[in-house]
Chain A
Amino acid sequence: EADIYQTPRYLVIGTGKKITLECSQTMGHDKMYWYQQDPGMELHLIHYSYGVNSTEKGDLSSESTVSRIRTEHFPLTLESARPSHTSQYLCASSEPGSRNEQFFGPGTRLTVL
């Protein structure tokens, strides 16, 4: 079973607040990913990392930022939350090799009022 964790699971916050969504994995995976998913819609890749000090923007433009200082930790930050940021944020990691099976965390459901 995959060991990837996200906190908080649910977050309701006011406009303009700075928030950080936490993601950690204990599998030693180098590759990690952040997806955004609105209800009933597809997953969109917003950030990914191939290892420590490596971060790249994904296919969907996002105002969030990420950092990768440690292999196991890949936090996502919104400097000033807005109602348009309301969504589910899913973190994933994958094993080395070409298969690239991704293991997902439970997600953070963010609501910005």
Chain B
Amino acid sequence: GQNIDQPTEMTATEGAIVQINCTYQTSGFNGLFWYQQHAGEAPTFLSYNVLDGLEEKGRFSSFLSRSKGYSYLLLKELQMKDSASYLCALGGATNKLIFGTGTLLAVQP
């Protein structure tokens, strides 16, 4: 099976940097996704890691370590509009995504 753990909630200040962690236990997967979901809206794709290391995309970066069963999403120069849930998901050979419970990020002025 696949267990995915994320902190339930986090709070950060506008302009700061925040790191959202995701740990997982799985027998195998193709890649790890991060999605952003604003309240009442659909998830939107942020990043994808298939190899170990850091993927940078503007203010957002994502890191994966397969040996440690660990990923994180790094958000820089936080803006109020970054207040949302951030979902970690594993993509497997079955063509399905398994989502974590998500981390609700509140950005304060």
Contact = CB atoms under 8 A, between A and B. Distances in A.
Interface residues of B, number: 23
B39 to A, nearest CB: 8
Given A42-B102, A94-B95, A100-B95, A106 B42 contact: yes
Interface of A: 31, 33, 40-43, 45, 48, 50, 58-59, 88, 90, 94, 98-107, 109
B4 to A, nearest CB: 9
Contacts of B43: 43, 90, 104
Given A99-B31, A100-B91, 6 more contacts: A41-B101, A59-B96, A94-B95, A100-B31, A101-B33, A104-B44
B33 to A, nearest CB: 7
Interface of B: 30-31, 33, 40-45, 48, 50, 87, 91, 93, 95-102, 104
A99 B95 contact: no
Nearest to A94: B95
A101 B99 contact: no
Contact of B97 (A40, A100, A105, A109): A100
